[in-house]
Structure 1
């Protein structure tokens, strides 16, 4: 080997060493600058021992902003625990750091006892505030994903909660490239979506009808508009919405009966009930079909449609493709007129609603609220909301209290005069 080749090899080796050290420094410096305070260079392990922040070097790190007092946080914590344990049992370098919004030390300790990862000490309020400001944390639960070898802000993922709900552990290592791959796979899967591949599994090619367990072939739904109703008996909003959906279901079926064409409508109950008796009792209030209780398809449908809360009504077209994930909102807004839930029909209904809104009073006093309510639309502060009178979803036009945010559907207004409000 010549002197020139020796020199070249030595130079490449030195550059590789420098680059490796630089990458480690990025990881070390970034995590230290975020998580080390002037009085502390450690985090708390699940058993309370101190773990130096430098132990995070080379790992993908999730900063988990959460609190014990908020139910959505507790729900997501279990999902994060399952993902964390799965990833680490498979040798993935993934760590989570809990950033608490709990109200006192006891609540922090009780919540932290459920978590298998690290935590910033509850007493370090300054670091928590600095992280809130750095990542613009406006709500919890919030999961910020940091990459070990990239300290650029564009490499940071702000929506870790949504990513885990949507993709689960498949999203690891939570890079932009990996998410693009998963989104492409998801698009391809939705393009190939049919009723048959959504609702059948192995040797089950049927749904339950009435009286259960009457079997109805999945293929009998092909060519129909189908609603997938995700709900459970323990879900109060779901139980409250069900009678309305039953009424609308019958009205749509009656509306279609005189038609000479082949239009038809069906609903399939996708249960999140905790036990068979709960499922049976709830399903008996419904006139439509259902997946069997505990069927694995329930989980695959929940993931496929990214269902993050119930009740939820997904509408599929006659070709089996998704028309909308907002069937519940459309039912609340337009009742049976929402059928067949297509974009063209919704556009028409929105235009009709806009025309009707021209004749509505610009403000009203509502029997259920003490302040004046102002008529608003999407462009003037409206948008998706939960009606404070009927507790159902709405969007577009609403009567809104500009003082406290109280909102009601225009159809839910029970108008009273200002004088009677003063007397109260």
Structure 2
């Protein structure tokens, strides 16, 4: 089948090159998707589908490539949403705009998609679409409405919307987004620890050993971290020991303080129960049972795109921050209780401490001098090249190549002045 598809697509490319296609028909989407000698798109089997057949449909322009893992991951999600919408009779169509390196890669990738594509050989149309919609990275999904070609009707964040809302986002209008955002706001306002962690046949969490059941009700009134991770996740494996150390320090810090307590709940993405038990055995906190349906609900509710992720809930069960991992990396146990007021205080303290830091440093493993920068002087969010964790605020940055490290991670190297 793959050979047949490749041959069919190759013949289409040849026909296009030889100018054998019929005269281009006009439609609203023709200026975008057709060329002077092509009025069709390709199905995954190589069949030609006229551009004019897209009239009246909501179109998603999908910029993607087979060689980039985030594209392949999102394609799988988009296929599920697309097929569900089509089965429900929706007028949604997707057009693939390839950034693949060769025709073979294009054919293999398009064969996994149930939608249409710009021919691989039509470089000019692909370049024109990239320029028109200012595509800076992939995957990207641009949403066009059938009866409104105004710029404000175009949605540029289709990938984000599909991740967050799935099929519920249809018909992908701004009005529908406002409805979903209002629903989301109301849901988060009603959010409690009990509503998040319990289901109809479970009101407990797992302790140590895993046969021990801890009542969810016993956590009400505490600051709680929901830790999304898994044994197969290398960044999670690296972050967990840091989190354990911080967790134990916070527990000691709040011990005996009236109205203060801290707990973490492991929300596993492990592939099997054996992996889950092996991972959870290293952790001193609680966990949701492996495979519990609440895990998927929490992942969707907090829009968790990648792991490890640490969501912090306040004593009232409301979300304090989704960036607990980042705050732990920056401030360790001092981040507790993770509130905006505490973070603002820590940022001011960091600014004061930065006044006493050297303006430049050398770091082991990097040959250039590093300059102290802040968000106001050329810095910004970054991934530390030493500890591989996120940073913001102050950093030592190489002005020649962009190398950046946390101030706390600087270790003098061979190039340091003596």
Given that 2:365 and 2:413 are in contact with CA atoms closer than 8 Å, whether structure 1 keeps it comes out as: no
Given that 1:98 and 1:118 are in contact with CA atoms closer than 8 Å, whether structure 2 keeps it comes out as: yes
Matched, 1:372 2:399: no
Q: Cα offset for 1:420? A: 6.9
SS of alignment partner, residue 94 of structure 2: strand
Structure 1 residue runs of 5 or longer lacking an equivalent are 1-27
Query: 1:333 aligns to what?
Result: 330
Query: 1:106 aligns to what?
Result: 104
Matched, 1:357 2:330: no
Query: 1:17 aligns to what?
Result: none
Given that 2:370 and 2:396 are in contact with CA atoms closer than 8 Å, whether structure 1 keeps it comes out as: yes
SS of alignment partner, residue 96 of structure 1: strand
Aligned partner of 1:163 among 153, 161, 164: 161
Query: 1:203 aligns to what?
Result: 201
Query: 1:263 aligns to what?
Result: 260
Query: 1:249 aligns to what?
Result: 247
Distance 1:146 1:339 in 2: 45
SS of alignment partner, residue 65 of structure 1: strand
Q: Cα offset for 1:415? A: 2.2
Within 5 A, what are the aligned runs for 1:19-38? 29-38=27-36
Distance 1:78 1:288 in 2: 34
SS of alignment partner, residue 375 of structure 1: strand
SS of alignment partner, residue 366 of structure 1: coil
Matched, 1:128 2:126: yes
Given that 1:368 and 1:389 are in contact with CA atoms closer than 8 Å, whether structure 2 keeps it comes out as: no
Query: 2:321 aligns to what?
Result: 324
Q: Cα offset for 1:417? A: 6.3
SS of alignment partner, residue 167 of structure 1: helix
Query: 2:15 aligns to what?
Result: none
Q: Cα offset for 1:108? A: 1.0
Matched, 1:275 2:267: no
Aligned partner of 1:285 among 276, 282, 294: 282
Distance 1:251 1:225 in 2: 14
Matched, 1:297 2:294: yes
Query: Which stretch shifts more, 104-113 or 28-37?
Result: 28-37
Aligned partner of 2:342 among 326, 334, 345: 345
Structure 2 residue runs of 5 or longer lacking an equivalent are 1-25
Given that 1:207 and 1:218 are in contact with CA atoms closer than 8 Å, whether structure 2 keeps it comes out as: yes
Aligned partner of 1:383 among 372, 380, 391: 380
Q: Cα offset for 1:380? A: 2.0
Within 5 A, what are the aligned runs for 1:224-239? 224-239=222-237
Distance 2:225 2:82 in 1: 34
TM-score by length of structure 2 reads 0.92
Shift in alpha-carbon separation, 1:112–1:420, aligned structure 2, 3 A: farther
Distance 1:376 1:296 in 2: 45
Distance 1:371 1:39 in 2: 53
Q: Cα offset for 1:383? A: 2.2
SS of alignment partner, residue 148 of structure 2: coil
Query: 1:64 aligns to what?
Result: 62
SS of alignment partner, residue 200 of structure 2: coil
Q: What do residues 181-230 of structure 1 show as CA deviations (whole Å, max 9, x unaligned)?
A: 00000000000000010011111111111100321111111000000001
Query: 1:306 aligns to what?
Result: 303
Matched, 1:406 2:403: yes
Distance 2:416 2:246 in 1: 38
Distance 1:121 1:344 in 2: 54
Distance 1:378 1:419 in 2: 25
Query: Which stretch shifts more, 397-406 or 331-340?
Result: 397-406
SS of alignment partner, residue 416 of structure 1: coil
Shift in alpha-carbon separation, 1:66–1:249, aligned structure 2, 3 A: same
RMSD (CA atoms): 1.3
TM-score by length of structure 1 reads 0.91
Distance 2:160 2:260 in 1: 36
SS of alignment partner, residue 291 of structure 2: coil
